[in-house]
Amino acid sequence: MKLKFLHLVLAAAALPLVTVHANAQLGIYGTINVERAAGVACKDAPLPCSYNDGVDRAIGGGGGAYYQWKQMGPALLGVDVRGDIYKSNKSASYVLSGQNAFRMDSALGGVRASFSADKGFLTPYGEVLFGWNRRDRIDNFFAYRVVGGLDINLLPIMAVRLPEVGIGQNIGMGGVKSNTVESVSVGIVFHTQRNR
């Protein structure tokens, strides 16, 4: 008898937690990305680097997940974590060129706010992300990005991301020169349904 009463007490205690998160949404996504990093120093000077204008241009893919749970006015707030891998046949850092001669990786996380528009068909969002970026498997950076995008909900649990744009900076560590970053990506998102 006591065991059943304890279950009832625990269920009653958990009920407020469940109702607080009734509007929560969990999503996972995959993207195709294009990134441009300007202000890159050529390490092979005086030889000319593959891109001799100090700009790396790379294409890649990435993925991540977000969890939103806090409703604040028209915005649903939460967190986002993501990782990206970019490759290019040329580098602004080295003379090297050829198949996948250049690689850049990043791992970022931060806060996210999304807004429901047009009765849930369109979901604009914005994020502020911080983390780590690595170029050519050697140079490490502290990275930050400000991104915004639009998810177009095709099904109750699926959306197309068209597009996401971002701007930020890779801040050099250990004497590595900092550089500015711009990105554009498209992708697909799978998410839980959200009670509106």
**DSSP state for residue 77 in the 8-state scheme:** E
Output phi, psi for 93, to 5 deg.
-95, -30
Q: Is residue 17 part of a domain?
A: no
Q: Is residue 169 part of a domain?
A: yes
Q: Is residue 14 part of a domain?
A: no
Task: Write the CATH number for 80.
Answer: 2.40.160.20
Q: Is residue 180 part of a domain?
A: yes
In 10 A of CB 171, how many CB atoms? 14
Q: Is residue 6 part of a domain?
A: no
- Judged on CB neighbours under 10 Å (0-12, 13-18, 19+), 15 is exposed
Q: Is residue 119 part of a domain?
A: yes
Q: Is residue 158 part of a domain?
A: yes
Strands (E), 73-178: 75-90, 97-115, 122-135, 139-155, 158-172
The whole-number mean pLDDT for each consecutive block of 10 residues of the chain, a chain of 196 residues, reads: 50 44 85 94 75 87 96 93 93 77 92 81 95 87 97 93 96 87 97 74
The one-letter code for the residue type at 142 is F
Q: Is residue 56 part of a domain?
A: yes
The one-letter code for the residue type at 183 is S
pTM of the model: 0.83
Domain that holds residue 175: 23-191
